[in-house]
Amino acid sequence: MRWPGPAKEEPQSPDTRHSLHITLREGFRGHTVVIVVDGEEVYRRSGVTTDPRIPLTDAVELVVGRRLVQVMVSVTPGDYHASLDLVVSAYPHLAISLVGEGTVSFETSARRFT
Q: What is the CATH number of the domain that holds 62?
A: 2.60.40
Q: What is the domain extent for residue 92?
A: 18-109
Q: How far apart are CA 61 and CA 86, in angstroms?
A: 15
Q: Is residue 72 part of a domain?
A: yes
Q: Is residue 10 part of a domain?
A: no
Q: Is residue 5 part of a domain?
A: no
CA 98, distance to chain mean position in Å, is: 13
What is the residue type of 81? Answer: H
Q: Is residue 100 part of a domain?
A: yes
91-111 mean pLDDT = 93
- Sign of the CA dihedral 59, 65, 67, 72? negative
- pLDDT per position as a tens digit, 38-55: 999 999 999 999 887 776
Total domains, the chain: 1
CB 104 within 8 A of CB 80: yes
- pLDDT per position as a tens digit, 51-100: 877 766 789 999 999 999 999 999 999 889 999 999 999 999 999 999 98
Q: Is residue 89 part of a domain?
A: yes
pLDDT at 6 over 70: no
